[in-house]
Amino acid sequence: MTLSPPLSMQGKMKPLFLVVLLIIAALAGAFTFQGLQYDFETLDGETYRWQDLNGQWVVVNYFAPWCAPCLREMPELAAFNQSLPDNTRLFAINYDPKTKPELKAMTEKFAIAVPVIVSSPDTKLPMTKPPYLPATFIVGPDGKIKDTIMGEVTAVHLRQRLTELKGADL
């Protein structure tokens, strides 16, 4: 014996079922869309959203292969990246947009051993492109730029500056 709703209810349930189904589909689509959104991607395929980096210190270094001081500081950035201070991330970004294959070839050629952001029209950073290179930006845990260092940096200088900024942030 099967129970079915009265005939007067059967006609009303189909539209209600369709409405519920549409709402579920719309919510699933919205969550999927949000999950696919990101602010930047690194050469190794990792994607990041700035809101997910809140609470961390983020160092972003602009460089270019035609910039001799930029290439000189790359080993310093790699050393800094090997022993990052607590709650700190480091990224480099090429000044001139390049395709992933071009960027990969360039990082191999110059032995760039830090996470490199793939620059594209969709890349969202909290700073504007600097007027000259090298340029290093320190973004605080609140997502705001705390310092801009124009010129070459060393691992020691970056550690000192972060220590100062973290102390002032307390």
pLDDT digits (tens, 9 = 90+) for 92-120: 999 998 999 999 999 999 999 999 999 98
CATH superfamily of domain region 41-169: Glutaredoxin (3.40.30.10)
The answer to whether residue 29 scores a pLDDT higher than 60 is no
Q: Where residue 31 falls among pLDDT bands split at 50, 70, 90?
A: very low
The answer to whether residue 26 scores a pLDDT higher than 90 is no
CA dihedral 36, 144, 94, 80 (to 10 degrees): -110
Q: How confident is the model at residue 30, as a pLDDT?
A: 43
pLDDT digits (tens, 9 = 90+) for 56-68: 999 999 999 999 9
Compute the average pLDDT of residues 139-149.
Answer: 96
The answer to whether residue 159 scores a pLDDT higher than 60 is yes
Residue 99: burial class (beta carbons within 10 Å; 0-12, 13-18, 19+) = exposed
In 3-state terms, what secondary structure has residue 41? strand
Q: How confident is the model at residue 127, as a pLDDT?
A: 95
Share of the chain above pLDDT 90, in %: 74
